[in-house]
Homo-oligomer: A and B are copies of this chain.
């Protein structure tokens, strides 16, 4: 029996629907405690708010696009966005042309500044969620750099049980951030400690140390191209002459190439490629996540750089691949499936394999972003130190 609902029933149902809808929204996990905005619903839609009674135009800039906010009677501007991609994203408001960070968000260092970030849960993905498993430490350490002539900070993840096994030594992964970021990238946005805790607890990774250093180093005078052997000299010296010796003097690691790995994202991927492949006497595993070395990105208004000459970058890489195959386990590349670097990365993987160079490759949904890098780390770490 079908009949029209009387107006009051309809209003009640609408009220219930609105209530159910409202109850579905929750503050983002990346908010500071107590901050109600930004909020997300189960589909990842976001509500952003900022008080700006005198402003004439406000928008929120997310990596996927910008959304104009509308002004309420109370001077609070607000917008509900379409679903935001799962993962972690930097964002900012623009208020009458001024970049404004959201006081509701924690601050994250990216784009060379401490800005806002939003964590959008990915349904069914919990490898970077803290769980009731043994937890390692994330230790801040100061070391003196002879390259910069200053004290610099790095983080060291030590695995659960490190303190209780004073006679035990562990392998070490050196893990580098991207351009505009620093050592806090893998520590905060990357959730390295949680990813390692979960992998180790599941028996999927060997207990290891992860060294998370600041990869921003000056270039030699006259060198302009970062992505060249010359451009990497500062980083290479910092890593090989300062960071690795400091770690090996202060932590119980296994001080040989077999037990050292080097990986990084974007700029750090380029650093890992150049410095790792050129120093297989120091590192036996190299990972480059989302590096732009191979092409696919172009400077604004400029042309895409000439194709990457792997043999020129790393002599022998193509002409004597068996040397690298024997030295590296693994040589690993990854990239986001919506990253403009995808095609160039896939092509070089095919080229490498055609020349007999063994390379392990993975791609993950997402652009040039932390969700791809978390998944890359989670995929890469179980491949390390597996021969024992």
Contact = CB atoms under 8 A, between A and B. Distances in A.
Interface of A: 32-35, 50-56, 95-101, 103-107, 109, 112-115, 130, 132, 135, 137-142, 144, 151, 163, 166, 182, 193, 216, 250-252
Contacts of A54: 56, 96-98
15 contacts: A34-B112, A52-B96, A52-B98, A54-B98, A55-B98, A95-B98, A100-B100, A101-B103, A105-B114, A107-B107, A137-B139, A138-B139, A163-B163, A163-B252, A166-B166
Contacts of A139: 137-140
A97 B106 CA distance: 22
B114 A107 contact: yes
A183 to B, nearest CB: 11
Closest 10 CB pairs of A and B: A107-B107, A107-B114, A166-B166, A103-B113, A138-B140, A137-B139, A52-B98, A54-B96, A139-B139, A54-B97
Nearest to A53: B97
A359 to B, nearest CB: 34
Contacts of A98: 50-52, 54-55, 95, 98, 100
A153 to B, nearest CB: 9
Given A95-B100, A135-B142, 12 more contacts: A35-B112, A54-B56, A54-B98, A55-B96, A55-B97, A95-B95, A101-B114, A103-B115, A105-B114, A137-B137, A137-B139, A163-B166
Contacts of A138: 139-140
Nearest to A167: B166
Contacts of A53: 97
A133 B5 CA distance: 79
A142 B250 CA distance: 23
B33 A112 contact: yes
Contacts of A99: 103
A80 to B, nearest CB: 21
Nearest to A142: B135
A237 B104 CA distance: 28
Nearest to A77: B98
Contacts of A107: 107, 114
Contacts of A182: 33
B114 A114 contact: yes
B132 A141 contact: no
Nearest to A32: B113
A242 to B, nearest CB: 14
A266 B115 CA distance: 28
A250 B137 CA distance: 11
A141 B151 contact: no
Contact of A216 (B33, B112, B137): B33
Contacts of A50: 98
A47 to B, nearest CB: 18
A17 to B, nearest CB: 31
A252 B103 CA distance: 39
A232 B109 CA distance: 35
B130 A137 contact: no
A30 to B, nearest CB: 11
A32 B109 contact: yes
A295 to B, nearest CB: 28
Nearest to A96: B54
A329 B298 CA distance: 65
Residue with the highest number of chain B CB atoms closer than 10 Å, among A53, A109, A139: A139
Contacts of A33: 112, 182, 216
Given A52-B97, A97-B53, A112-B32, A137 B132 contact: no
